[in-house]
Amino acid sequence: MGVTIKDIARALGVTPGTISKALNDKPDIGADMKVKIRAAAIELGYVPNPIARRLVTNRSNTIGVFILDRHELSLRENYGFQFLDGIIKESDLHHYDILLFSITKDLAYQKSYISLCLERRVEGAVFIGLRSDDPYLEDIIRSPLPASVIDAEARGQNVSMVASDNRAGAAAAVDYLWGLGHRRIGIIKGSEREFASRERYEGFRHYLTERNSFNEAYVYPGDFTRESGAAAVETIMKSQDRPTALFAANDLMALGALKVFKGKGYRIPQDISLIGFDNIANSEDCDPALTTIGQNAAEIGKEAIRLLLARIRQENKGKASFIRTELVIRDSCAPLK
Amino acid sequence: MGVTIKDIARALGVTPGTISKALNDKPDIGADMKVKIRAAAIELGYVPNPIARRLVTNRSNTIGVFILDRHELSLRENYGFQFLDGIIKESDLHHYDILLFSITKDLAYQKSYISLCLERRVEGAVFIGLRSDDPYLEDIIRSPLPASVIDAEARGQNVSMVASDNRAGAAAAVDYLWGLGHRRIGIIKGSEREFASRERYEGFRHYLTERNSFNEAYVYPGDFTRESGAAAVETIMKSQDRPTALFAANDLMALGALKVFKGKGYRIPQDISLIGFDNIANSEDCDPALTTIGQNAAEIGKEAIRLLLARIRQENKGKASFIRTELVIRDSCAPLK
DNA sequence: TTGTACGCGTTATCAA
DNA sequence: TTGATAACGCGTACAA
Residue B224 lies in a domain: yes
Distance from residue B56 (CA) to nucleotide C8 (C1'), in Å? 5
Which chain A residues have a beta carbon less than 8 Å from that of B119?
Answer: 47-48, 50
Q: At what angle do helices A5-12 and A31-44 cross, to 10 degrees?
A: 120
Type and span of the H or E element at B293? strand B292-294
**pTM confidence score:** 0.91
Residue range of the domain that includes B255: 166-295
* Separation between Cα atoms, residue B113 and residue B236, nearest integer Å: 43
pLDDT bucket at A64, cuts 50 / 70 / 90: very high
What are the tens digits of pLDDT across the range A103-137? 766 555 567 899 889 888 899 999 998 888 888 99
Check CB contact under 8 Å for A67 and B88.
yes
Residue from A58, A65, A128, A285 to probe the interface with B (highest B Cβ count within 10 Å):
A285
CB B149 within 8 Å of CB B130: yes
pLDDT: is B328 or A11 the higher one? Answer: B328
CATH number, position B24: 1.10.260.40
- Evaluate whether residue A157 is within a structural domain: no
B interface mutation test: which of A51, A126, A268 has the most B CBs within 10 A?
Answer: A51
Q: What's the pLDDT at A75?
A: 46
Backbone conformation region of residue A49, classed left if phi is above 0, alpha if psi is from -120 to 50, else beta: beta
pLDDT of A72 higher than 50: no
At A209, which CATH number? 3.40.50.2300
Question: How many domains does chain A contain in total?
Answer: 2
In a domain, B308, yes or no: no
Q: Which residues of chain B from 53 to 92 reach within 8 Å of chain A, CB to CB?
A: 54-55, 58, 60, 65, 67, 75-77, 81-82, 84-85, 88-89, 92
Q: Is the CB of B289 inside 8 Å of chain A's CB atoms?
A: no
Among B46, B63, B80, which residue terminates a domain?
B46
pLDDT of B251:
95
> Does B229 reside within a domain?
yes
Establish if A290 belongs to a structural domain: yes
A123 within a domain of the structure (yes/no): no
Question: Which nucleotide has the least CA–C1' distance to B6?
Answer: D9
> Is the minimum CB–CB distance between B98 and chain A shorter than 8 Å?
yes
Phi, psi for A175 (deg, rounded to 5): -60, -35
Tens-of-pLDDT digits for all 337 residues of chain B? 578 888 888 888 888 888 888 888 888 888 888 888 888 898 888 888 888 888 888 888 999 999 887 544 444 455 677 788 889 989 988 989 999 987 766 555 567 888 889 888 899 999 998 888 888 999 999 999 999 999 999 998 899 999 999 999 999 999 999 999 999 999 999 998 889 999 999 999 999 999 999 999 999 999 999 999 999 999 999 999 999 999 999 999 999 999 999 999 999 999 999 999 999 889 999 999 999 999 999 999 999 999 999 999 888 777 899 999 999 999 999 999 8
**Contact call for residues B330 and B314 (beta carbons, < 8 A):** no
Residues A67, A80 contacting (CB under 8 angstroms): yes
Average pLDDT over residues A5-31: 85
**Which of these, A149, A197, A89, A70, lies nearest to A307 by C-alpha position?**
A149
More confident residue, A304 or B45: A304
Q: Is residue B326 part of a domain?
A: no
**Distance of alpha carbon B71 from alpha carbon B64, whole angstroms:** 22
Highest mean pLDDT among A36-50, A102-116, A230-244: A230-244
Select from B47, B82, B99 the Cβ nearest to the Cβ of A119. Answer: B47
Inter-chain touch B84–A97, beta carbons under 8 Å: no
pLDDT for A134-163, tens place per residue?
A: 889 999 999 999 999 999 999 988 999 999
Residue A224 lies inside a defined structural domain of this protein: yes
CA of B50 to C1' of C16 (A): 37
Residue B268, sorted as left (phi over 0), alpha (psi -120 to 50) or beta, turns out to be beta
CA A49 to chain centre: 33
Q: Is the pLDDT of residue A335 over 70?
A: yes
From chain B residues 183-242, the ones with a CB under 8 A of any chain A CB are none
